[in-house]
Amino acid sequence: MDPDYIAFTEEMKRDYTILVPNMLPMHFKMILEILGCYGYRMELLETTDRAISECGLKYVHNDTCYPAILVIGQFVTALQSGKYDPDKVALMLFQTGGGCRASNYIPLLRKALGRAGYPQVPVISFSFAGLEKHPGWHLTLPILRRMLHAVFYGDLLMLLSNQCKPYELEPGSTDALAAAWTHRIAEEMKQKKNVRRSAVRRTYRAILRDFAALPRSGEKKIRVGVVGEIFVKYSPLGNNNLEDFLLSEGAEVVVPGLLGFVMYSLYDNLMDTRLYKINKLKYPMWCLAYRFFRRREDEFIRCIREEGTFDPPRNFSETVSLREGYIGLGAKMGEGWLLTAEMLELSREGVKNIICTQPFGCLPNHICGKGMMRPIKEHNPDVNIVAIDYDAGATRVNQENRIKLMLSNARRQQDADAAAEERLIS
């Protein structure tokens, strides 16, 4: 047990505010609303200023994983802001419990809180790996079911927003519609009654109709995929608002959804038994959970295809098959083989320009991301991949200049392809 451990008790649940760092804005807003209807007072931290990384470096060694520096810096900055009572606040970290440094964020955060003068603040580990126990924190089956729906809804809103926003004729209309649906879904999931599958499908179709009705231009823009370490891949704080920058450069952003990572984590549990003969007693349970997710994923994709306006994601089983010949299923630290598979998936979907986001010094991502770029390019010579390191010492200008160079190459290729097509027609 961590010597700095402070339990989050049932008494604390009544009047403590739990702060959560922002990784996926739409997903997390829905998840926090769900937790709120079960008695938890949740608040999402959406600050993004440079003072956060500077604060993180003050209380965490600079060799620490960059996402840890940011998350810890965001928490300490929030406590120092005066907005919260340190004796009535708790912090929550989402963790996978894997073998990378992310599993050490909790003790790092507790040590930082002690040095910053807040040793009394409880830190809750949100993890399915059972890293810690807290008397006042319980993940019940109804909560988990609603959170599952939040993952699907969040992925759908993210996918549709990314396919509409670069082409919208009314600036801000996509964000406004996504925000309205995020609020509406959160309100619906606050109800205590069970969320029926038929109702979920109706909501999918209603969302698709609303986004399809947005006025959009028909111009063709360069599509840029974003993969990498989960925090810097999704978090505007972690990737210096990468999606907004790409939009400002006239690109359409394509980001694989959170569901893929959830199913990857489940699939790794199956592989533990098949490859290493461990956790045999839990194997039937993991098989059942995986089949459940596969059925829900099939419904999700089918609804998008039936509407016909938008490009659906690839089925997870297809994603798994794409990494064959490149990387083994035993490579599962961090984003593991999924990172390679997502780059190949994007290429198959026609997204030939890919940004691999990675925290500087993140060994799993340097191996499964940057390390796999050469074999991917050898088999897919038309793919344009650039690895971007994110670190407290890395300048935003340098990152953006490298991305601009990639986009410049992409535009030249697009023009050459258009010219070749014109010659064929004539």
CATH label of the domain that carries residue 327 = 3.40.50
pLDDT of residue 248: 96
In the numeric block, the tokens 């704080």 are attached to 237
Residue 187 lies in a domain: no
Residues 237 and 345 in one domain: yes
Residue 98 lies in a domain: yes
CA distance 362 to 339: 13
Residues 126 and 226 in one domain: no
pLDDT of residue 418: 78
User: Residue 277 is inside which H or E element, if any?
Assistant: none
Residue 62 lies in a domain: yes
Interval 10-33: pLDDT, tens: 999 999 999 999 899 899 999 998
Residues 225 and 365 in one domain: yes
Residue 16 lies in a domain: yes
pLDDT of residue 57: 93
pLDDT tens for the chain, 426 residues long, are 577 789 999 999 999 999 999 899 899 999 998 999 889 999 999 988 889 999 999 998 888 889 999 999 999 999 999 999 999 999 998 876 566 666 678 888 999 999 999 999 999 988 766 567 889 998 888 888 899 999 999 999 999 999 999 999 999 999 999 999 999 998 888 776 677 888 899 999 999 999 999 999 988 899 999 999 999 999 999 999 999 999 999 999 999 999 999 999 999 999 999 999 998 999 999 999 999 999 999 999 999 999 999 999 999 999 999 999 999 999 988 889 999 999 999 999 999 999 999 998 788 888 888 899 999 999 999 999 999 999 988 889 999 999 999 999 999 888 887 788 778 876
Residue 267 lies in a domain: no
Residues 115 and 231 in one domain: no
Residue 189 lies in a domain: no
* Structural domain span for residue 132: 11-138
**How many other CB atoms sit within 10 Å of the CB of residue 318?**
12
Residue 22 lies in a domain: yes
Q: How many domains does the chain have?
A: 2
Residue 205 lies in a domain: no
Residues 129 and 230 in one domain: no
pLDDT of residue 101: 62
CA distance 197 to 182: 18
| Contact of 124 with 75, CB cutoff 8 Å | no
Residues 6+ apart with CB under 8 A from 272: 278, 279
Q: At 190, phi and psi to the nearest 5?
A: -75, -20
pLDDT of residue 53: 92
pLDDT of residue 344: 97
Q: Using N-to-C axis directions, what is the helix angle for 105-116 and 66-80, rounded to 10°?
A: 40
**Of the candidates 138, 164, 182, which is a domain's last residue?**
138
Residues 109 and 244 in one domain: no
**Of the candidates 138, 164, 188, which is a domain's last residue?**
138
pLDDT of residue 425: 78
**Of the candidates 138, 166, 199, which is a domain's last residue?**
138
Residues 241 and 377 in one domain: yes
CA distance 255 to 65: 22
Residues 246 and 351 in one domain: yes
